[in-house]
Amino acid sequence: MTSPKYILAVLMLLAAGFAAAHAAVNDTVNEAASANDSEWFSYRDAYKAMLWFEKYGKPKHLIQNHYQISPKDKSVSMETVRLSLVSKSSRLNLPLDATGRTVLPMLKAAYDDNAELILNQKANQYQFRPRASIVIRTDGVYEAADLRAACEQLLAYQNYLGSDVSRGKKCTGVRFV
């Protein structure tokens, strides 16, 4: 390897190492003792994924969109899991329901700040993704026709996104979780 190439390679490695250390110490909120005890996600990337639902123009009044935290280990309890939206000027706690879903606030200020979503769990233990579902009724009573319509709306939305999961599928039933 020629000398200039070697020097450049070393400089790049040093820069990467410095940035990683800098990011771990300064960019992660110190809710946990070390960077290994918290997981972060980019609010901008989450915002982008959620905005597809906002911009979707076909009927969607029977369905809703959340962000869902789900453990890779399904036996783990969600009781102690806490999610926060942290930006330069504010910190917002995002409550999770029993299935780990939260309503992601669509805040321009947080987007412009390049805010972080911080999970108080160890890194690489949780998945974080948009989740579309049928709107829940408070009285728990559902017309069969409405459930069929809701399923069709959900399927249409998933096909619009190009999801492999829904490709070629039809609505045959609804599952309550």
Partner 1 sequence: MAKFSFFFLLLLSGAGGAALAQTPATNLMPDGSRDLYIGLGAESRPTYQGAQESRVAALPVVQMQWSNGAFIAGMSAGMHLSDQAQQEYGPMLMLEGRRSPYGASSTAGSINNGIAQGAQVNGNKLVGMDDINPRLLAGGFYHVALTDALRLTNSLLYGAGNNHDGLRWNSDLRYRITPSAPHHTLSVSAGVTVANRAYSQAYFGVTPVESLRSHNRVYAVSAGVKDWHADLHWNWALSPAWLLTSALNITRLNGSAAASPLVERSGNLTVSSALAYRF
Among 37, 103, 139, 162, binds partner 1 (CB under 8 A): 162
Q: Which is nearer to partner 1, 14 or 137 (CB)?
A: 14
Please count the other Cβ atoms lying within 10 Å of the Cβ belonging to residue 8: 12
Please count the other Cβ atoms lying within 10 Å of the Cβ belonging to residue 28: 18
Tell the smallest beta-carbon distance from residue 156 to partner 1 (Å).
12
Burial of 112 (0-12, 13-18, 19+ CB in 10 A): exposed
Among 30, 97, 114, 143, binds partner 1 (CB under 8 A): 114
DSSP string over 100-126: SEEPPP--HHHHHTT-EEEESS-TTSE
- State yes or no: residue 160 binds partner 1 (CB under 8 A): yes
* 119's tokens: 């999970």
* 120's tokens: 């108080």
- State yes or no: residue 102 binds partner 1 (CB under 8 A): no
- State yes or no: residue 64 binds partner 1 (CB under 8 A): no
Q: Which is nearer to partner 1, 61 or 108 (CB)?
A: 108
- State yes or no: residue 121 binds partner 1 (CB under 8 A): no
| CA distances from residue 1 to 4, 8, 13, 173 in whole angstroms, order as listed | 8, 11, 16, 63
- State yes or no: residue 27 binds partner 1 (CB under 8 A): yes
Asked whether 83 and 118 are in contact (CB, 8 A), the reply is: yes
- State yes or no: residue 44 binds partner 1 (CB under 8 A): yes
Q: Which is nearer to partner 1, 87 or 142 (CB)?
A: 87
Tell the smallest beta-carbon distance from residue 40 to partner 1 (Å).
6
Q: Which is nearer to partner 1, 88 or 137 (CB)?
A: 88
Q: Which is nearer to partner 1, 3 or 138 (CB)?
A: 3
